[in-house]
Amino acid sequence: MLAAPEIYAFLDEPGPLPFDQLYERYRKLETRRSSDGTQQWLNWVIRLEATGQCAGFVQATVHPDATAGFAYVLAPAFWGRGIAHAACVAAIELLRGVYGVRALYATADARNARSINLLLRLGFAPLDRRAYPHGEVAEGDRAFAKQLR
């Protein structure tokens, strides 16, 4: 499901990684920390309650200043059903309540209307790309921010 080419149309990745590269990527992510220990890496699998089927994932990189980068990927078979919204709302509540995050930042390809609409529904607001605090915003991407209370 997460190998569908439609997923990668708007990502800065060429497509699904070969198994050995995917294995290494997940091995690194499961440490839940950047190599210098300053960032906490959080990843949640989105599973359908009725079947346990994997539909996608939500991830966040928590920075020492109580901000986090926020991202999600959902398989096309589950687009337009409210699944990503529900998963993101749950993740945002955990980030706020458990991890003490006070501001979230996200980027989306400017052509990816689905992703932009989801960010707006989640309460993110457009942000000047120069104000994005977690690195450079890729060419053609838009930046968004959400303050948490």
Number of domains present in the structure of the chain: 1
Sign of the Cα torsion 132, 59, 9, 26 reads positive
Q: Are 75 and 23 in contact (CB under 8 A)?
A: no
The CA distance from 73 to 51, in Å, is 19
The CA distance from 104 to 68, in Å, is 5
Predicted model pTM: 0.88
From first to last of its 149 residues, the chain has per-residue pLDDT tens of: 667 778 777 877 666 767 776 567 666 666 677 778 788 999 999 999 999 999 999 999 999 999 999 999 999 999 999 999 999 999 999 999 999 999 999 999 999 999 999 999 999 999 999 999 999 999 999 999 999 98
Domain enclosing residue 11, as ranges: 5-147
